[in-house]
Amino acid sequence: MATKGQLTGMAGVYLAAAELSLRGYIVAPTSRNAQGVDLLVSNSEGTSAIPIQVKTNSTTFSFWLLSEKCKRLESDDLFYILINPRKTEREYFIVPNREIVGKIREEKSKSSRSDQSEPSVWYSFLLEDAKPYQDKWQILDELLLHPERRKE
């Protein structure tokens, strides 16, 4: 049975896919148990594609939890769509991977559980760092609609 977190994650992937589809892109969700990205997005001609990782909060928070592997992903092609669900309107943040890698926060829990020798480590990306990227769909438009401008 799926957990609330898994259902929230799946909902976020489909919310992002729907938004991108409404904007005219071809969107393919990847297998949910696959490692890597959540969505592969292409322009309508199929001449340019980008991978997207989706992170969704179950309620509105001031951060998104990430995995440790996010710190090591060095891809200029990867983008994150961070979603905060609001009662009236959802918030979308389209953030380049380099921003995530550069501003990921690492925090250790104050104490370890009795069955652990080390405290837990949490990785997160803060809302304040995401704010400049709110509704910045044009970042993806630039890459997908003008692939000739892409960095090599």
DSSP 81: E
CA distance 95 to 11: 19
Looking at domain 4-149, does it have CATH number 3.40.1350.10? yes
CA nearest to 19, candidates 75, 91, 99, 126: 91
Write down the pTM of the prediction: 0.87
Domain positions in the chain are: 4-149
pLDDT tens digits for range 25-80: 999 999 876 677 999 999 999 999 999 999 998 887 889 989 888 777 778 889 99
What pLDDT is recorded for position 75?
A: 83
Query: What are 95's two structure tokens?
Result: 């953030």
Confidence of residue 132 (pLDDT cuts 50, 70, 90): very high
